[in-house]
Amino acid sequence: MNLRRDVFQAIADPSRRAILLLVASQAMTAGAIASNFDTARPTVSKHLQILTECELLKQEQNGREIYYHINAKKMKEVAEFLEPFRSMWEDRFSKLESIMKKHKK
């Protein structure tokens, strides 16, 4: 099986992307993740299973609860993960350029 292709298939699904975005801000339990969606709990579990299998999410036992974390190492392979960081700089630099072009005159 081609693992790399699996990663991209995993993030091609909008629900799975939404889960990744959610977990990026903080580690969460499956229940907490599911409470953010209207979809049935087993559907969310299936998405979590796929994301864990392709290593985009990591599980961590904390007492009786299992928390899902973003696997930053794997996420870096996905351009979308870097995109907000890049576009933050793109915005600043574009502003710099337009301000200095006017400055010239």
Number of residues that bind another protein (CB under 8 A): 30
**Tokens linked to 75:** 């996420």
Distance separating alpha carbons of residues 28 and 8, to the nearest angstrom? 23
Q: Give the binding range for another protein (CB under 8 A) out of 1-9, 43-51, 56-64, 65-73.
A: 65-73
- Taking the C-alpha atoms of residue 13 and residue 78, their distance in angstroms, rounded to an integer, is 14
For another protein, the closer CB: 13 or 63: 13
Q: Out of 11, 28, 33, 75, name the contact with another protein by CB under 8 A.
A: 75
Radius of gyration of the chain (CA): 18
28: helix, strand or coil: strand
| Backbone phi, psi, residue 70, to 5° | -75, 135
Scan residues 76-95 and list those touching another protein (CB under 8 A): 76, 81-90, 92-95
The nearer residue to another protein, 4 or 92, going by C-beta atoms, is 92
Binding site for another protein (CB under 8 A): 21-22, 24-25, 70, 72-73, 75-76, 81-90, 92-97, 99-101, 103-104
